[in-house]
Every structure is written in C-alpha cells, then in structure tokens.
Amino acid sequence: MFERVTILGPGLLGGSVALSAVKKLSGCQVTLWGRREEPLKVAQSVGIESVTTDLEAAVKEADLVILATPVGVMPKLVEKIVEVAGDREILLTDVGSVKRMVHEMLAPTLKGTKIRFVGSHPMAGSEQTGMEAAKDDLLDGATCLVTNDGGVDEDTVKQVEAFWLSLGCRVRRMSAEDHDYAVARVSHFPHVLACVGATVGLAFDDIADLCGGGMRDTTRVAGGDPTLWTEIMMENRDALQRSMRESIGDLVKLMDMLEKEDREALHAYLEEAKTRRSLI
C-alpha cells in the first residue's frame, strides 16, 4: 500500500505506530522523526532502524506522513512539509485526540497543495509516556476514528483506513465534531474523574496505604503527563464541559438519594451504571 511511511514524533503513540508498522508492514520503509536524539536512540534500540532529526529528509520521499506530535505543534510542521513536498503528492494523517481543531488549523496551509489530509485517532494509550513506553502491540484491537472534514476523495480515505486496519485496529468514520464530543465522554471525561478521585480520595497522605484495587483502577490514568492532558482538556474544553455538567447533576442526585435515605432510587442508579459498564 505504502512504500515509505514517516511518523513525526517519537512519543508513546508515535513510537508504537512505528514499532507496529515495522513489525506488520513487510517491505515498507518506516522512518521515525524527532527533534531530540535521545528518544530516537531508544527507538533504534527496540528495532526502528530508520530514525532522523532532519525533517526534510524524513518527509521528502514519504508516501504517508503521520503527525504524532502535540496538536499545537502540527501547523508549523505542516508548513515545512508543504515546503519540502513541492508539487509531489503526500497523504497526511495524524493521531491527535481532538479533530475539529486539527482540521481547522491545517486547512489554510494545505489549500492549493497536493497534500491530502485525513484525520485519525487511534484509541490506544497509557498513563506512561515517551518512546520508552511504546509497544508494537499497543494498537492491537484498538478502534481508530477517522475524520474527513476536508472532503478528501473516498479512495484516499480508504487508504488511510486500510493502513490502520493493517496495524490491527478497528476503524470507524466520524465527523470531527462528532469525534470530539464522543471522545470527550469516553476518554477525556474519565481522565477528569480519575484526577478528581485522586485529589479528593487522597486528600490526606496518611490514608494512601489503605488503598486497594478499586482506588488504583479508578485513578490509574491520573498518573498521566499533566502537560499533555492540560493541552487535551483545553483543546476539547467545549465538549468536555458538557460531560462535566452532566456529572455534577448526577452527583447532586446521588447526594439527594443519600440525604433522603432513598435505597430504591440508589439501587436503581447503581443497576443502571452496572448495565452501562457492561457495554465495554
């Protein structure tokens, strides 16, 4: 499908995409680009042979370029890609956790070029960060959401979908707006809950050693990178606030049930929560 794939960004997700592509895409040249040498040395130590800090060298012959950097960094990178590409066709995608902002930011730069952008978001990750945490099976069974708000032709979108399928993902297509509201509920909002759980539940240091599996499980992702999650929450703040307001409403209802000693209503709520949890 692609002879040369370049991933820009040697973090957890970018590194995992690169490792998976090296493992599963026979005959494909996989290159990993990063600004710093240190994570690229880690990448080489785990089997990614082609690494570089030279952006021009990384993208000048690539068929598919994957942006695996923070969303705010993407516009400058794309300006450089446009400059390097000239009149050559390149298929461009990303792994950002928000999509409306990415499509809106990149569209002006890509207008009139032969670079076609299709948004992607593999729903895979960890509270760990960096190339050191990357795994070649991180994408196995993950759902990759694909967005095409730029109106790229169908064959090109199918190429992007086929790429993620080849790495072991399931694929689902959505609009960027639907993506952001859905991901706010199933990814960004749970991170908020984990942070609140850790902050309130562990308000006193001397009770930390009382924690069991429940506390560890429900607050695990609160151990993620605060810088990364600050950006994600701010970028998707409109959709995230909707889920947060709903949760405040539910907390108020639960408090009311407890104050009124309404066992029947509380039991019904917990039953509904159990049913919803079984959907996963």
What is the mean predicted confidence (pLDDT) over 124-150? 93
Q: Do 212 and 103 share a structural domain?
A: no
- Which of 156, 174, 192 delimits the end of a domain? 174
Number of domains in the chain: 2
What is the mean predicted confidence (pLDDT) over 66-82? 95
Band the pLDDT of 125: cuts 50, 70, 90.
confident
- Which of 112, 141, 174 delimits the end of a domain? 174
Phi, psi of 155 (to 5 degrees): -60, -40
Q: Do 68 and 132 share a structural domain?
A: yes
Q: Note whether 55 and 80 are within 8 A (CB).
A: yes
Q: Do 15 and 132 share a structural domain?
A: yes
131 pLDDT above the threshold of 90: yes
Q: Note whether 132 and 11 are within 8 A (CB).
A: no
Q: Do 147 and 251 share a structural domain?
A: no
At 133, the amino acid letter reads A
Question: What does the pLDDT read at residue 116?
Answer: 97
Q: Do 157 and 225 share a structural domain?
A: no
What is the mean predicted confidence (pLDDT) over 23-34? 95
Instruction: Provide the 3-class DSSP secondary structure of residue 211.
Output: coil
Domain with residue 73: its CATH number is: 3.40.50.720
1 pLDDT above the threshold of 80: no
What is the mean predicted confidence (pLDDT) over 100-129? 94
Query: How many CB atoms within 10 Å of residue 83?
Result: 11
Question: What does the pLDDT read at residue 86?
Answer: 87
120 pLDDT above the threshold of 80: yes
d(CA 246, CA 184): 12
Domain of 206, in residue numbers: 179-277
DSSP string, 68-132: -S-GGGHHHHHHHHHHHHTT--EEEEE--S--HHHHHHHHHHHTTSSEEE-EEEE----S--SGG
Question: What does the pLDDT read at residue 12?
Answer: 94
pTM of the model: 0.89
Band the pLDDT of 231: cuts 50, 70, 90.
very high
Q: Note whether 124 and 134 are within 8 A (CB).
A: no
